[in-house]
């Protein structure tokens, strides 16, 4: 720890950074230099501070150097985008300067952009890799880097392994010293009309009656969502559209949680809106609230998934949906009764997108109508990654159709439950650094202390699940199940719970959360 700190202090040539290093106290030095960053499910992510395990100028250049080393002599092209977070633009320029040092052909967004637009631009410009500087829905202290392949899917395990090796072998002080004084110079920028190209063909101007409030949660989605809803005849009020890296009015800008809608609800009540739509700061996730009996009700990620699935499968057969193993089992019944094929993968759109691409080569991409995960990620267009922008239009169109029939999305959910059966899906998370260690403890104790009526435990690390090994556990119980999984992007242990009895589900989730917080 002290050696890493001293090495930085003695070798970094940028005096501004060395001055900041000298101001770190012993506690911060111990915390920030105790380990190194590593790849998660979608790249790297962490708190923006100086240190080997934090996101900063040096660790960004370290990853950029690994990418440059991986791509050198391959005549490759890379595109780089960034969101509205603090330092995102700075990090995008550092990444570009580092790649230029490796003579990698680099295309750069001049202004911030949504992740779905960056993913679209990857294939549009026929790039070999794309880089998105974002921490998605995390708090303001975080930033990160997502890496996508030429197909617009988060890089696979093979590329991850190669980049991880190069990343681990890279001396961040050396690569930063080489480029920090250099000017960006002449670069190629993405064309100004890229959002219109992204939206091309996804509009049908009709007279609409639905009243909408939209919040961008101070992120990147506003321009694209405004255009898309406008092209399709929707009028809406908006809130939190301006760039605010501090997320002043939404400290945790995650559309999975109702608190993120606080400002939007104020506007929605004044505007008498029937639906609130939210996209997270990089606009790849969608959150929804619905006015029902004069109260705004938050829909879970699974509930929006049920609505999309029922809508997209209605009147069809032999269509395909791709989800993950932590998605509600009600989707199984929806697919079964609509003669649709359902495929489940490990969590994350790298796994789901890769599976969908594999299926598309056999069945055709047009037959894959939905790819989704319970954490508010939906792909409803011809792509392989989550897209909160396109999903915003689909949920608005469904709500519009329901309104004309005198119903709301809540009524639609009740119709779905009457048709396929009720399933309550709940989720929670516990902030904890050693979540993988906690899973190891639970693997041994099997939570016997809770005296649950456990029917079966599925161990995704050791059992033959026909999926790649991953460190999480699924407990099958009467009329339901729950899953415990370390987050791949945050220091958290995640809990997913499904049960036919809503009251029991809430009670059990409370028991699990309290037990895990107090005993592990």
Residues 255 and 370 in one domain: yes
| 196 assigned to some structural domain | no
Q: Where residue 100 sits, what CATH number does that domain have?
A: 3.40.120.10
Residue 498: inside a domain: yes
Q: Are residues 402 and 457 in the same domain?
A: no
Q: Binning pLDDT at 50, 70 and 90, where does residue 487 land?
A: confident
Query: How many domains would you assign to the chain?
Result: 3
Report the b/e string of 215-240 with b at 16+ CB within 10 A: bbbbbbbbbbbbbbbeebbbebbbbb
Last residue of a domain, one of 420, 444, 467: 420
319 and 434, same domain (yes or no)? no
Residue 235 lies in a domain: yes
What Rg, from alpha-carbon coordinates, does the chain have?
A: 23
What are 333-376's pLDDT values in tens digits? Answer: 999 999 999 999 999 999 999 999 999 999 999 999 999 999 99
Roughly what angle, to the nearest 10 degrees, separates helices 409-420 and 330-337? 80
Q: Cα–Cα distance between 373 and 351 in angstroms, integer?
A: 11
| Domain encompassing residue 463 | 424-519
Provide the pLDDT for residue 458.
96
Give yes or no: residues 218 and 267 share one domain: yes
Q: Are 259 and 304 part of one and the same domain?
A: yes
Ranges assigned E (strand) in 185-326: 188-189, 212-215, 236-239, 275-279, 286-292, 295-299, 320-324
Record the pTM.
0.94
Residue 270 lies in a domain: yes
Same domain, 314 and 336: yes
pLDDT tens track for 284-335 = 999 999 999 999 999 999 999 999 999 999 999 999 999 999 999 999 999 9
**Residue 195 domain-assigned (yes or no):** no
Helix ranges (H only) for 103-218 are: 115-124, 157-169, 172-179, 194-199
DSSP-assigned letter for residue 154: B
Residue 152 resides in a domain: yes
User: Does 219 lie in the same domain as 205?
Assistant: yes
| Inside any domain, residue 194 | no
Residues 319 and 468 placed together within one structural domain of the fold: no
In this structure, the answer to whether residues 232 and 303 fall within a common structural domain is yes
Same domain, 388 and 292: yes
Q: How does strand 377-379 pair with strand 368-373?
A: antiparallel
- Asked if residue 509 belongs to a domain, the reply is yes
Expressed in angstroms, the distance from the first to the final Cα of the chain is: 26
pLDDT tens for 317-329 read 999 999 999 999 9
pLDDT at 303: 96
């Amino acid at each position: 720890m002290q050696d890493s700190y001293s090495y930085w202090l003695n070798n970094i040539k940028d005096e501004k950074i060395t001055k900041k290093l000298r101001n770190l106290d012993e506690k911060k030095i111990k915390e920030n230099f105790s380990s190194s960053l590593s790849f998660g499910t979608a790249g790297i992510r962490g708190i923006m501070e100086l240190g080997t395990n934090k996101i900063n100028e040096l660790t960004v250049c370290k990853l950029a150097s690994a990418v440059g080393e991986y791509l050198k002599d391959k005549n490759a092209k890379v595109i780089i985008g960034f969101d509205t977070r603090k330092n995102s633009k700075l990090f995008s320029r550092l990444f570009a300067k580092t790649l230029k040092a490796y003579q990698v052909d680099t295309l750069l967004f001049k202004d911030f952009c949504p992740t779905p637009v960056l993913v679209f631009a990857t294939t549009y410009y026929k790039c070999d890799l794309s880089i998105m500087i974002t921490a998605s829905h995390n708090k303001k202290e975080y930033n990160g880097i997502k890496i996508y392949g030429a197909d617009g899917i988060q890089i696979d395990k093979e590329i991850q392994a190669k980049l991880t090796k190069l990343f681990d072998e890279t001396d961040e002080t050396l690569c930063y010293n080489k480029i920090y004084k250099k000017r960006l110079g002449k670069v190629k920028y993405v064309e100004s009309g890229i959002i219109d190209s992204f939206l091309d063909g996804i509009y049908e101007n009709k007279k609409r009656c639905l009243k909408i409030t939209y919040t961008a949660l101070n992120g990147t989605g506003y321009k694209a969502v405004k255009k898309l809803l406008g092209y399709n005849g929707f009028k809406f009020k908006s809130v939190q559209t301006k760039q605010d890296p501090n997320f002043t009015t939404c400290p945790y800008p995650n559309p999975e949680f109702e608190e993120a809608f606080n400002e939007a609800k104020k506007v929605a009540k004044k505007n008498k809106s029937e639906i609130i739509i939210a996209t997270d700061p990089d606009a790849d996730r969608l959150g929804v609230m619905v006015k029902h009996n004069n109260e705004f009700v938050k829909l879970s990620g699974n509930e929006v998934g049920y609505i999309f699935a029922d809508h997209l499968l209605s009147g069809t057969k032999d269509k395909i949906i791709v989800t993950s193993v932590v998605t509600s089992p009600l989707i199984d019944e929806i697919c079964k009764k609509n003669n649709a094929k359902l495929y489940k993968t490990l969590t994350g759109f790298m796994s789901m997108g890769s599976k969908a691409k594999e299926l598309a080569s056999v069945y055709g991409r047009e037959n894959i109508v939905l790819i989704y995960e319970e954490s508010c990620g939906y792909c409803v267009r011809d792509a392989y990654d989550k897209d909160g922008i396109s999903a915003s239009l689909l949920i608005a169109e469904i709500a519009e159709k329901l309104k004309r029939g005198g119903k709301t999305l809540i009524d639609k959910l009740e119709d779905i439950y009457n048709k396929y059966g009720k399933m309550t899906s709940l989720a929670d998370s516990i902030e904890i650094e050693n979540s993988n260690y906690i899973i190891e403890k639970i693997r041994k104790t099997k939570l016997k202390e809770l005296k649950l009526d456990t029917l079966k435990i599925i161990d995704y690390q050791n059992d033959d699940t026909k999926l790649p090994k991953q460190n999480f556990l699924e407990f099958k119980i009467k009329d339901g199940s729950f899953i415990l999984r370390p987050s791949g992007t945050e220091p958290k242990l995640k809990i997913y719970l499904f049960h036919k009895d809503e009251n029991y589900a809430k009670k059990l989730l409370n028991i699990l959360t309290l037990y895990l917080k107090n005993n592990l």
